[in-house]
């Protein structure tokens, strides 16, 4: 069962359980859209109700007249903010509304707030975790968002509709047409240019390598040189001692002949026989003579012995053969050709290098970069850059690559870092674990292409490019151009029309704002939430709608929760009051903080809470899988700290789960966890001053609920929260909930009778016994087998944290890798 299915079942269940028993079946059938499985599942849950507990805890109260809806409240708040900004006592115009009626933060606040630190999805769940998805029953359907949007649009149309139609519509149409035409022309121009450059590069590389291969082939047929190699091979076939082979005069004759033919004094060569053993080389001591070729070179020699000519490299030589020491750290290129005897039979392979092949090869790409203002380079099948890209050298010099400039050629893996590399994050990428770029994948996959859709290159920069694969030489060539430079003309056109549209929009908006202020300022000036700027809706839960608000006097963000317009019964209002009071009674820094609470003049309840930034534990696991043991202990210790205070006040949370725990990075302590959503919290003992809601079924998320919560939903026991703590710890270590099943009955059966799969199976590695014992004790089926108090859990975690630490630096590294938007 997925989250949407579960929410649908629970929504319909909660709606039906408020009705008389004789009406429930017809209600469920009429709101299930013919889904027979849904009807069966909901009716089976209704049949398992514990009516006795429902009577004990109280009946629902009678409904009262609906107060003002959240949409109307927000409109009033918006008007209040506008009235205060119009007041002669406040000349500040920092916070301005846009054309949709929402207010925007000032530039100064944007600079200080840093939206990159906020994960919007996490914020959605911070104060409005929707335990009920209000989509099935008309009785519970919320249209607050639609009312808010419709009223805002209607108000703007009444006050400034003619301004928008007369000024913005023609400009938008002309601007869009012009922009599309310019963009299309620029793309065609880029495609033509890239196609010409890549074809030119491919032809030049092919011609250069072909010329060098033909040249060395002609040398191999020179009679004196060939005779020396044939004689040396004949000597080797007699299996003489290695020292005798090293002193063979034919080796000097080969060297001298190559020097004479090539005109290069420092020419280097190697001769192998058909058994891939070295017969001769340019080295003075001949230490490699008689040794077999390294396995990595066997494939090339096999091709040569079959009659092909092979271009070796560019490659950085390694001391991989006994006695061989590379004379240079720079990349080298060589030509390997077959040697035939007098009968035309291939008996040996000849490698020739030291002719400056790499320098000439590399110059082809550098000249393209200088003449065409593009990045150009060659790659092999592994995605390694073979040439020395001038663009890569420049990035390395400026600290945008994790590799030194002289180490780029035949070394840099052309992988997509996943973000743009800078001097500060260049060492955070491990290229061997990153996928190759789009261009490399296309070239190696033999898919020649010119791509004008942007993609990330090896530095994380947005580029367009083209590529070809030269199958004859087993290498690819790539040209790329910076996307910003390529599409600069498009940006100029877009900016011009956006600027014109913005000026027209501002004119229309100021006119509309002036009209709106004159009609709402007097009423809005005294609203209790007038000091808040409403910025955006964060989400809607079972009880209320949550908005992101900005306190203009204190200069801080807050989460404003307003009772939903369709939840207007006396019980709903008292339930909303209870959540605010219970959460406000907590002062632990790991529990969400309540800043303000009250009602508007129209009777609408609201609650102002701490605005949490970061990721929920569910998002943490979704981004990086199972977590380190030390991190789990650190996070759960903070969660236990919050629950310890709640339990000391005789308050149970009852809905501890990964989605209700927010994690952020604190510069001084590392991971910082905050427990939120006390909407299901409940006192251990009845309190006459706190409204006690009726409890006819279980409340919470099933896969993290203790077994006794299913048997007796009304029984309050702190050890139920301890069970949920164990489930969350299991989830962090394994990356999966302890129990997952497709239907509620099967899930309940697993929780009541089965043990979860071992954590080690999910992780693929052993987990220390003391860690599994901690979690198993928390998740014991019988409350008596668990820790007696949350304090005991804290003590056990503190003991284990000494052996499994989680440092601030480790937290910073994780957030650097996974904490982005």
Intra-chain end-to-end CA distance of the chain, in Å? 28
Neighbours of 184 (CB within 10 A): 11
CB-based contact 437:463 (threshold 8 Å): no
CB-based contact 515:160 (threshold 8 Å): yes
Quote the CA–CA distance of 557 and 105 in Å, as a whole number: 10
Neighbours of 628 (CB within 10 A): 16
Quote the CA–CA distance of 627 and 66 in Å, as a whole number: 47
- Which residues, other chains included, contact 110 with Cβ-Cβ below 8 Å and sequence gap of 6+? none
Structure tokens at 237: 């076939």
**Three-state secondary structure of 222-285:** CHHHHHHHHHHHHHHCCCCCHHHHHCCHHHHHHHHHHHHHHCCCCCEEEEEECCCEEEEECCCC
Quote the CA–CA distance of 560 and 547 in Å, as a whole number: 5
Quote the CA–CA distance of 729 and 727 in Å, as a whole number: 5
Neighbours of 563 (CB within 10 A): 25
Q: What does the CA dihedral 562, 566, 569, 570 come to, rounded to 10 degrees?
A: 0
- Counting other chains too, the contacts that 461-464 makes at CB distance below 8 Å and 24 or more residues apart are 461/420, 463/375, 464/190, 464/194
Place of tokens 């949709």: 100
Quote the CA–CA distance of 9 and 32 in Å, as a whole number: 10
CB-based contact 537:70 (threshold 8 Å): no
Q: In the chain, what are the helix, strand and coil shares in percent, each to the nearest 5?
A: 50, 15, 35
Quote the CA–CA distance of 525 and 519 in Å, as a whole number: 12
Structure tokens at 102: 């929402």
Burial of 159 (0-12, 13-18, 19+ CB in 10 A): middle
Is 561 marked within a binding site?
Answer: yes
CB-based contact 437:458 (threshold 8 Å): yes
Quote the CA–CA distance of 268 and 579 in Å, as a whole number: 83
Q: How is residue 591 annotated by DSSP? A: B
Structure tokens at 477: 């060539």
Structure tokens at 687: 């309190």
Place of tokens 């040398």: 219
Quote the CA–CA distance of 558 and 257 in Å, as a whole number: 84
Beta bridge partners, 349, equal 272, 338
- Which residues, other chains included, contact 668 with Cβ-Cβ below 8 Å and sequence gap of 6+? 808
Annotated binding site: 561
For the annotated binding site for ATP, the residues are 561
């Amino acid at each position: 069962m997925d989250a949407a299915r579960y929410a649908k079942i629970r929504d319909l269940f909660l709606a039906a359980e408020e009705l008389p028993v004789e009406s429930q079946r017809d209600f469920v059938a009429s709101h299930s859209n013919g889904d027979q499985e849904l009807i069966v599942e909901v009716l089976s849950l209704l049949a398992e109700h514990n009516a006795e507990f429902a009577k004990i805890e109280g009946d629902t109260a009678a409904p009262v007249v609906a107060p003002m809806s959240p949409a109307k409240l927000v409109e009033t708040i918006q008007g209040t903010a506008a009235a205060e900004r119009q007041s002669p006592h406040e000349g500040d115009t920092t916070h301005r509304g846009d054309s949709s009626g929402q207010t925007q933060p000032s530039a100064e606040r944007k600079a200080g707030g840093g939206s990159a630190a906020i994960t919007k999805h996490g914020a959605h769940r911070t104060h409005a975790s929707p335990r009920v998805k209000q989509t099935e029953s008309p009785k519970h359907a919320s249209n607050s968002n639609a009312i808010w949007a419709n009223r805002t649009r209607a108000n703007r149309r009444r006050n400034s509709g003619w301004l928008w139609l007369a000024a913005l519509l023609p400009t938008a149409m002309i601007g869009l047409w012009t922009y599309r035409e310019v963009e299309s022309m620029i793309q065609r121009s880029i495609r033509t240019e890239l196609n010409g450059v890549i074809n030119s590069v491919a032809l030049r590389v092919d011609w250069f390598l072909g010329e060098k291969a033909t040249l060395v082939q002609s040398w191999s047929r020179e009679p004196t040189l060939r005779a020396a190699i044939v004689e040396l091979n004949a000597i080797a076939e007699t299996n003489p001692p290695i020292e005798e082979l090293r002193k063979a005069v034919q080796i000097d004759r080969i060297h001298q002949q190559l020097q004479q033919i090539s005109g290069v004094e420092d020419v280097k060569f190697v001769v192998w026989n058909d058994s891939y053993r070295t017969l001769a080389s340019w080295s003075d001591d001949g230490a490699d003579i008689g040794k077999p070729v390294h396995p990595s070179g066997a494939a090339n020699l096999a091709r040569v012995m079959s009659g092909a000519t092979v271009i070796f490299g560019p490659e950085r030589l390694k001391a991989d053969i006994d006695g061989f020491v590379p004379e240079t750290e720079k990349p080298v290129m060589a030509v390997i050709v077959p040697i035939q005897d007098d009968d035309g039979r291939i008996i040996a392979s000849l490698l020739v290098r030291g002719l400056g092949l790499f320098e000439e090869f590399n110059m082809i790409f550098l000249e393209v970069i200088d003449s065409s203002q593009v990045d150009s380079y060659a790659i092999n099948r592994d995605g390694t850059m073979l040439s020395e890209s001038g663009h890569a050298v420049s990035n390395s010099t400026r600290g945008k690559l994790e590799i030194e400039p002289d180490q780029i050629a035949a070394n840099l893996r052309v992988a997509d870092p996943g973000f743009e590399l800078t001097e500060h994050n260049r060492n955070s990428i491990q290229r061997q674990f990153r996928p190759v770029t789009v261009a490399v994948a296309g070239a190696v996959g033999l898919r020649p292409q010119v791509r004008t859709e942007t993609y990330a290159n090896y530095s994380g920069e947005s580029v367009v490019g083209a590529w070809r694969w030269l199958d004859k030489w087993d290498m690819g060539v790539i040209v790329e151009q910076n996307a910003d430079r390529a599409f600069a003309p498009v940006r100029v056109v877009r900016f011009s029309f956006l600027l014109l549209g913005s000026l027209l929009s501002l004119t229309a908006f100021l006119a509309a704002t002036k009209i709106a202020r004159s009609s709402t300022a007097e009423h809005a000036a005294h609203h209790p939430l007038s000091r808040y700027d409403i910025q955006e809706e964060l989400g809607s839960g079972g009880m209320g709608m949550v908005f992101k608000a900005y306190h203009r006097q204190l200069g801080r963000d807050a989460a404003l929760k307003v009772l939903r317009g369709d939840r207007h019964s006396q019980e709903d209002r008292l339930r909303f009051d209870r959540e605010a009071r219970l959460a406000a009674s907590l002062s632990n820094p790991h529990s969400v903080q309540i800043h303000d609470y009250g009602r508007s003049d129209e009777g609408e309840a609201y609650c102002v809470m701490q605005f949490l930034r970061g990721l929920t534990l569910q998002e943490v696991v979704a981004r990086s899988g199972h977590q380190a043991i030390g991190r789990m202990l650190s996070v759960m210790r903070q969660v236990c700290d919050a629950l310890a205070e709640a339990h000391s006040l005789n308050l149970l949370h009852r809905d501890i789960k990964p989605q209700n725990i927010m994690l952020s990075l604190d510069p001084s302590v590392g991971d910082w966890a905050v427990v939120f959503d006390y909407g299901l919290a409940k006192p251990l003992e009845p309190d006459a001053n706190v409204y006690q809601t009726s409890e006819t079924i279980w409340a919470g998320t099933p896969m993290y609920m203790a077994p006794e919560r299913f048997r007796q939903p009304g029984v309050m026991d702190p050890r139920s929260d301890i069970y949920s703590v164990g489930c969350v710890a299991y989830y962090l270590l394994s990356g999966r909930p302890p129990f997952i099943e497709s239907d509620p009955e099967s899930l309940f059966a697993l929780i009541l009778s089965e043990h979860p799969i071992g954590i080690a199976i999910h992780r693929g590695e052993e987990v220390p016994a003391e860690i599994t014992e901690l979690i198993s004790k928390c998740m014991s089926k019988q409350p008596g087998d668990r820790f007696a108090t949350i304090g005991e859990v804290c003590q056990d975690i503190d003991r284990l944290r000494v052996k499994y630490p989680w440092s601030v630096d480790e937290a910073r590294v994780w957030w650097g890798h996974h904490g982005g938007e």
